Amino acid sequence: MTTAKAIWWQNLTAPDLLAHARKDDIAVLPIGAIEQHGPHCPCGSDDFNAIGLAEHLSARTGVMLLPCPMYGSHPFHHWGMPGNIPLRFETHIALIEDIIKGAKVAGFNKFIILSAHGQVSSTIVAVHKLGLANIFTLSLHWYDFLRDQKTILETGMWHADEAETSMALYLYPQFVDMSKADKGGGAPLVDKRFIVGPGMPAGPGMMYHFEGTFARPEVRELKNGIIGDATRATVAKGEAMVTTVVGYMADLIEDIRSRYAPGVNPLETEPPADSPWTK
């Protein structure tokens, strides 16, 4: 872990935060959820994954990290699963809005939500509500930055599986019991060829996996709380995933820094004469 070099908001004084924002006004908000992760990984896995990725990112780029709220929102099919504590969508949207609006008061103008849990149903709404409030916010799931996952993983990325368990083994092995790792999963309500799974490259005739009621409630569907194959998890895969995600995120931060000086709100800049979309 890189805790010592990560810059966390909650560890600093208000004058320190103001001084940081004058030099670099980007802040990253890691978010996860409280959710069961099978018999082998802890219920805080998504928070720990978000926090671990954020710490590696901050150690590499010097970016400010906002404190991670432990609770998140959940797709409908997670509700009622023992171990899960879902926030209502409205609660989670308001939580994100309030955190980012609060951080803006200290001089931060660019925000990146780093999610390690399937909660685009609230994060995307929060982004657009913040846009209406003139606040620049990007929201990504680490799956989005692992579209080259086949170079690292043998299976897709779902839940408490090869991907998440590998990251857990790399970031917080003390909470993982591989003797209980297993395979599991259910079946989608339409053929899987129509569904873009997490981090999968999209193809023709496919919908993103949160664009429909594709799943039965997990409490009826899942036998062991796993979707995928946790037995294939390794520390090396976890390290490769973290390095890949942090690499792309560092590029994104560099792009934002190169375009907009500290103190500049990207939403208030003038458009260039030539549109890059027509090239």
Contacts with Zn ion, residue ranges (CB under 5 A): 46, 164
Task: Specify the residue, 24 or 164, whose C-beta has the smaller distance to Zn ion.
Answer: 164
Minimal distance, residue 38 CB to Zn ion, in Å: 10
Name the minimum Å distance from CB 161 to Zn ion. Answer: 9
Q: Which is nearer to Zn ion, 155 or 265 (CB)?
A: 155
Nearer to Zn ion, 97 or 229 (CB): 229
Of 158 and 214, nearer to Zn ion (C-beta) is: 158
Rounded to the nearest whole angstrom, what is the least distance from the CB of residue 156 to Zn ion in the complex?
A: 14
| CB 14, min distance to Zn ion, A | 34
Minimal distance, residue 50 CB to Zn ion, in Å: 10
CB nearer to Zn ion: give 46 or 162: 46
Contact between residue 45 and residue 22 where contact means Cβ atoms under 8 Å apart: no
